[in-house]
A = this chain, B = another copy of it.
Amino acid sequence: MRVDICEVGPRDGLQNEPEVLDPTVRAELVTRLASTGVPRIEVASFVSARRVPQMADPEKVVALAEAPSPVTRAALVLNERGYERLAATDVPEVHAAFCVSETFNERNQGCPVADSVEATKRIIRRAHDDGRRVTVTLAASFGCPFEGEVDPGEVLAYAGEIREADEIVFADTIGVGVPRQVHRLLRGAADLDRPLGLHLHNTRNTGYANAYAALESEVSTLDASVAGIGGCPFAPDATGDIATEDLVYLLDREGVESGVDIDAVISVAEWLRGVLGRDLPGRLHRAGVFPPAS
């Protein structure tokens, strides 16, 4: 079995860090990650620098980062304006996203979900016309901070609406999901005949259990961020995405191939800990690999 890890530290990770890093440092993070064997990296986000100062100047990050083939660079866009900025770069993969709950989407995207779905469809068409691959992430698929429980049937209906995407990712944006939700969504979307991914947070210590459950339901892609960065800036002790190196540890010892060199990711995590100047949530860069190298 093989799982593709999409490294989202430079985007979802840094976007939620309190510290705003210079584009040169963010580009260096991408460059370092590109040598770990990770097949895909979300390098930047084409969003408003006023709303998300951590993601300012994505064009600079893209221009400075060295992530040669076979690494695929991707970037997030939330609307067509964002897509147009991305399209002016050589980033070959588009990550579009919307929230499946009305309140959350209104706050994040400023419109009803149906409008975001239509915008996403237009982005898919334009990207395909331009020869780009598109992943669509359905945020808050496991629960909404404003509305609470989310109906998996509705989530799957939205997934069906954007089935022209090259990949569909269900995101546990606020880290509330459990394995049975993983199985319900992945098995429910299997008939869409698209590669399926999960974006998992470890906010309530269920992130790695969900990753393991995803293996049981034949997931194609798992998002992860080096050192587990991405805790919400408004909750200082919240953990972020599942940590890439911790996920690789789980995969390695389960016998699942990822192509990622755990020691290389741990080195990046240690470097990033120095850059951010604080303890980071990932465990492997502190506890060490088992069995230790002899």
Contact = CB atoms under 8 A, between A and B. Distances in A.
A279 interface: yes
Interface string A276-294: 0001001110110011100
Interface of A is mostly: loop
Nearest to A201: B287
Contact of A212 (B203, B209, B238): B209
A238 B180 CA distance: 29
Interface stretch (A48-56, A67-75, A81-89, A247-255): A247-255
Interface centre among A174, A237, A238, A250 (most CB of B within 10 A): A250
Contacts of A205: 202, 207-208, 242-243, 246, 249-250, 282-284
A245 to B, nearest CB: 9
B253 A178 contact: yes
B206 A237 contact: no
Contacts of A203: 283, 287
Contact of A204 (B179, B235, B237, B284): B284
A290 B176 contact: yes
A197 interface: no
A251 to B, nearest CB: 9
A290 B209 contact: no
Contacts of A175: 287
B291 A143 contact: yes
Interface string A149-164: 1000000000000000
A120 interface: no
A239 interface: yes
Given A202-B205, A206-B250, A279-B237, A180 B255 contact: yes
Given A178-B254, A255-B180, A246 B204 contact: yes
A202 B205 CA distance: 10
Interface string A200-222: 00111111110111000000000
A149 B253 CA distance: 11
Nearest to A181: B253
A148 interface: yes
Contacts of A143: 290-291
A238 B242 CA distance: 17
Given A176-B291, A206-B249, 9 more contacts: A148-B290, A174-B290, A176-B290, A180-B254, A203-B283, A205-B208, A205-B242, A206-B208, A212-B212
17 contacts: A175-B287, A179-B212, A180-B255, A203-B283, A203-B287, A204-B283, A204-B284, A205-B208, A205-B246, A205-B282, A206-B246, A206-B249, A208-B208, A212-B213, A235-B287, A237-B279, A238-B286
